[in-house]
Structure 1
C-alpha cells in the first residue's frame, strides 16, 4: 500500500502542477504578494512536501516494536524479518556504547563520506529538475504549453522508477540498477548538447528525467549498507541526505540565463557529475564485494565445512 501512496504523491507533485489548468492558475498568480508565478509554484509544492513530512513524524514508527498500528503478531513477524535480513535484531543490544555513539561511528566511517560525495555529485546532475520548465521553454512553445510538456517526462520517470526499484529489490542488486539509469541520463545530456532539434531535445528530457530511478535505488543502497547499530544508521542516513543538499546549492548556479538556450556548459557539468557518481558507486561496489568475501570466509572457517544458514551479506 505504501508503494502506491508514494507513486500517487509523485504523480501529484510532478504531473498535476504541470497540467494545463493548474499551469494557467499558477501563471495568473504572478505578482501576487509581490512574488513571481514561478516562486508560487515552488511555494505550493514545497508546502505539500513539508506538510507530509511533519505528518509522517507522528505516523511512522522508529522500529516495528514501537508501532501502534501493527498487531502483536505483525510486530513479531516484522522484527523477525529484519533480523533475518541483517543477522541481528534491532534492539538496544546492538548499541555498543549507547545511542549517542552513533554520531561518532558515523563520522569516522569513510563509507559515509564516500556515499555522501556520490549522492551530492548526482544531486548536482539532477539539478535540471528545478529548471525543467526553463528547459522545455527552449523548445519554442508558449509558457502554458511548455509547462504542460513537463508532465510526460515525469510520468515516464515514475513508471521507470517503479520498475527499476522493484527489479532491484527482487534481484538484490544495486549498482547496475543505479549505473544504467545514470548512463541513460548522460545520453540525454549528450543529445541536448548535440542538437537544437525540437523532437530530439524533448526525447533527451525523457532520458534525463528517468535518472531519478537510479537516484531512488541509491538511497535504498545507502540504507542497506549502514544497518547496525540503529543509532549509526539513523545518523548516517540523515547526514548523507543533508550533506547531499550541497548539490542543490551548487546546482542552482549550473543553469545561468547567459547559457540559454543551448545550456551546453550546464549539460557538460551534469555529465561530469553523473559520471563521477557512477565511478564512486563502482568503487563502493568493489569494496562491499570484498567484505562479502571476508564474511563468507569467516563463516567457512567457523563452521569447518558444516552446512549452515547463510549470514548477512551486503547488497552490491
Structure 2
C-alpha cells in the first residue's frame, strides 16, 4: 500500500485497522445481548443463570420491575452515571494511565534505541508482549479468584514505573531491553481496570452500561495527549517522555488507592446497615 493515494504504508495500516474496528463496533450494537430476558437465543435455564449471576454481582433483585423499568431506561442511566462522581473519578484516573501507557504506540521506536537493524528490532519488540499476554491472563484470573482489584492493578503499574526508571537511567542494551518487558507488564494491570469499573458501578444495569462506556471513551483523551510525549527530539533516551509516564502513572495509582479506600468505607456502611436490620446473610460488597 506504500504510496497509494499519496499515503505511506503505515498510515494505511491505521486506516484499515480503524475501519475494521468501527465496523465491528457498529455490528456489535445489534449482535451483543442487551439483557438476559430480552435475548431470544438464550434458553430459559440460561436466562435464569444469567440473572442469578447479575444479581450476585450487582447486589440487586432483577425481578423487581423498578430495576428493569423506568429506573433502567437509557436516558436515566445516562443521567445517573454522569451525576455520579465515582464515574468521573475513574474516567480521569484511567485517562491518566492511558497517557502513561502511550509508549505502546512507539514500542518499535523504543526498541530501535537498542541499536539493531529494522528486522531485528521488530523481532525484539514481540517477546515483551507475549510475556504480558500470559501475565495479564493469570493476573486477571487471580484477581477474580480472590475478589481483589486494587493491588492487581497497582502492582503491575508499579513494575512499569521501575521499567521507566531503568530506561531513562541507562543506555546499557540489556538493561533497556529488560525495561521494555517491565513497561509492557503494565498492561496486565490495565486490563483489570475496566472490570473494576463494572464492579464498582453495579446498579442499575443501565447506569453500569453507561459508566463503562463513558469511562472507556473519556480515557481515550489520554491517547491524544500521549501521542505527543515521544517526539524524536527527546530520543534516544526519551528521559522527558518516561518522566511524564512516571508522573501520570503515579497519579493513576494514587487515584485508584483513594477509590479503594472509598469502597472500603461503603462496604462498612453496608455491613452496619445489615447489622441494624438484623440481616444474618452477608450481602453485596464492593471489590476493593
1:203 and 1:68 map into 2 onto residues whose CA distance is 50
Residues 89-112 of structure 1 deviation map (CA, whole Å, 9 limit, x = unaligned): 346522664522222212221111
The answer to whether the aligner puts 1:74 opposite 2:49 as a matched pair is no
SS where residue 157 of structure 2 aligns?
helix
Q: 1:165 to 1:255 in 2, by over 3 A?
A: same
Scaled by the length of structure 2, the TM-score of the pair is: 0.94
1:175 and 1:163 map into 2 onto residues whose CA distance is 15
The answer to whether the aligner puts 1:109 opposite 2:84 as a matched pair is yes
2:23 and 2:76 map into 1 onto residues whose CA distance is 31
Judge conservation of contact 1:119–1:277 (CA < 8 Å) in 2: yes
2:77 and 2:26 map into 1 onto residues whose CA distance is 24
Q: Which moved more, 1:79-88 or 1:294-303?
A: 79-88
Correspondence for 2:24: 52
2:62 and 2:109 map into 1 onto residues whose CA distance is 46
Which runs of no fewer than 5 residues in structure 2 stay unpaired? none
Alignment of 1:287-302 (within 5 A): 287-302=262-277
SS where residue 288 of structure 1 aligns?
helix
1:96 and 1:56 map into 2 onto residues whose CA distance is 25
Alignment of 1:59-208 (within 5 A): 59-90=31-62, 92-94=65-67, 97=71, 99=73, 100-208=75-183
SS where residue 253 of structure 1 aligns?
coil
Judge conservation of contact 1:79–1:89 (CA < 8 Å) in 2: no
Judge conservation of contact 2:58–2:199 (CA < 8 Å) in 1: no
1:291 and 1:169 map into 2 onto residues whose CA distance is 20
1:30 Cα deviation from its structure 2 partner:
3.0
1:225 to 181, 186, 200: 200
2:215 and 2:62 map into 1 onto residues whose CA distance is 21
Judge conservation of contact 1:90–1:229 (CA < 8 Å) in 2: no
1:63 Cα deviation from its structure 2 partner:
1.6
2:2 and 2:8 map into 1 onto residues whose CA distance is 5
1:151 Cα deviation from its structure 2 partner:
1.3
The answer to whether the aligner puts 1:277 opposite 2:252 as a matched pair is yes
The answer to whether the aligner puts 1:313 opposite 2:285 as a matched pair is yes
1:47 and 1:148 map into 2 onto residues whose CA distance is 27
1:139 and 1:98 map into 2 onto residues whose CA distance is 54
The answer to whether the aligner puts 1:267 opposite 2:242 as a matched pair is yes
Scaled by the length of structure 1, the TM-score of the pair is: 0.86
Which runs of no fewer than 5 residues in structure 1 stay unpaired? 1-28
2:61 and 2:16 map into 1 onto residues whose CA distance is 41
1:57 and 1:219 map into 2 onto residues whose CA distance is 19
2:193 and 2:262 map into 1 onto residues whose CA distance is 16
For the aligned residues, what is the CA RMSD? 1.7
Q: 1:230 to 1:39 in 2, by over 3 A?
A: same
2:161 and 2:272 map into 1 onto residues whose CA distance is 39
